[in-house]
Amino acid sequence: MTPILEAKNVSKSYGVYQALKNVSLKFFEGETISIVGPNGAGKTTFVNVLTGLLKPTEGDVDFCGKSIAGVGPVKLSQYGMARAFQLVQIFPLMTVQETIISAVISQTGSQYNFWSNAVAQKRLVDKAFEVARIFNLDKKMSWQASYLSQGEKKLLDIASAFALDPTVILLDEPTSGISTADKRGIMDTLMEAAKLSGIKTILLVEHDMELVAEYSTRIVALAEGKLLADLPPKEFFANAELEAQIIGKRVSHA
């Protein structure tokens, strides 16, 4: 089976400090892969390398057979990979509809269409409503993004990434800043949205190990810049020593 995304012997150094040490991984269609590890494990660097934001010092990253090492976010979105951030990233003065339409415009290549009103183009508006409906934002299309609740802002951030119709999406702590009670709701919405949008692979960076256990099909653990484990959740959580290394203590899970 051909991997959709592949890190090949990736190393990344910042001066003398080596943040990633020869990491090789393959990500396949239909997978939800959680990337876990303690602080300073190299997760952020690995994710930034995987999403083309950082060029690896050594090695390469292939996405659908194409090298994406250091291509930057714009090219990455054109290739079919989207990313949502840990800290909410929205356009505060734009409405929900305009935010989602902005993504649809760049995805459809209609940004140089100068003669028509963006919010009057049926094709753009229909697509925006379609995405908003998945995230239960369709009732608030005319709301300015800054007036949404924290949870809705998070959903809008992710919804705009989904509007790019990506093949792979990277969700960086999608439930950070969300109350424990709402975390599961957000994750269920995300998983459902991914299914409906035809997203093939989900990369998840998450600290909440219960969510990791519940929603991942595979867990990749990093420690000190090295690949520590690449296992299905059952095997990962069956290894007490490994789990302790990642989170410092054993947690109970279903």
Partner 1 sequence: MNARVKLTLLFCLGILCAAPYFLSPYHTTLLLPAIAYGIILLGFNLLFGYTGLLSFGHALFVAVGAYTVAILTSRLGIKNMEIIFLCAIGASIVVAVPVGLICVRYVRIFFGMLTLAFGMLFHSILFKFYDLSGGDSGIQVVRPFLFGQDLSSMDKTSFLIGPFFYYSIIILIILGALMWRIVHSPMGMHFRAIRDNSRKAEYLGIQVHRFRLIAFVISAIYGAIGGALLVIPVGLADPELAYWTHSGNIVFMTILGGFNNFFGPIVGAFAFIGLKDQLVGLTQYWRFALGIVLVMLVLLLPNGIMGLLQAKKRMASQEKAQ
Whole-number Cα distances in Å, 138 to 3, 9, 128, 141, 213 = 35, 44, 9, 5, 31
Q: Does 150 bind partner 1 (CB under 8 A)?
A: no
Q: Which is nearer to partner 1, 17 or 115 (CB)?
A: 115
The two structure tokens encoding residue 225: 């810049």
Point out which span in 1-9, 27-35, 95-103, 174-182 binds partner 1 (CB under 8 A): 95-103
Point out which span in 13-21, 58-66, 160-168, 235-243 binds partner 1 (CB under 8 A): 160-168
Whole-number Cα distances in Å, 123 to 43, 95, 107, 164 = 38, 18, 12, 14
- What is the size of the binding site for partner 1 (CB under 8 A)? 40
State the amino acid at position 45 in one-letter form. Answer: T
Residue partners of 111: CB distance under 8 A and separation at least 6 = 105
Minimum separation from the CB atom of position 205 to partner 1 (A): 15
Q: Does 74 bind partner 1 (CB under 8 A)?
A: yes
Q: Does 148 bind partner 1 (CB under 8 A)?
A: no
Cβ atoms of 98 and 119 closer than 8 Å? yes
Q: Does 101 bind partner 1 (CB under 8 A)?
A: yes
Minimum separation from the CB atom of position 115 to partner 1 (A): 7
CA nearest to 123, candidates 105, 148, 103, 141: 105
Q: Does 40 bind partner 1 (CB under 8 A)?
A: no
Q: Where does this chain bind partner 1 (CB under 8 A)?
A: 72-74, 76-78, 82-83, 85, 89-94, 98-99, 101-103, 105-107, 110-119, 121, 124, 157, 160-161, 163-164
